[in-house]
Amino acid sequence: MHRRMQRRIQLVVEERRMAFAARHDEPAVDLETTMEIPPPELPLVVPQRAIGRVAVPQA
Instruction: Say how far apart CA 9 and CA 15 lie, in whole Å.
Output: 10
The model carries a pTM of 0.37
Inter-residue contact 49 to 55 (CB < 8 Å): yes
> What one-letter code names the amino acid at 35?
M
Measured over all CA atoms, what is the biggest interatomic distance in the chain, rounded to whole angstroms?
68
- Are 21 and 29 within 8 A, CB to CB? no
Tens digit of pLDDT for each residue in 3-59?
999 999 999 999 998 888 767 666 667 777 788 888 777 666 665 555 666 667 776
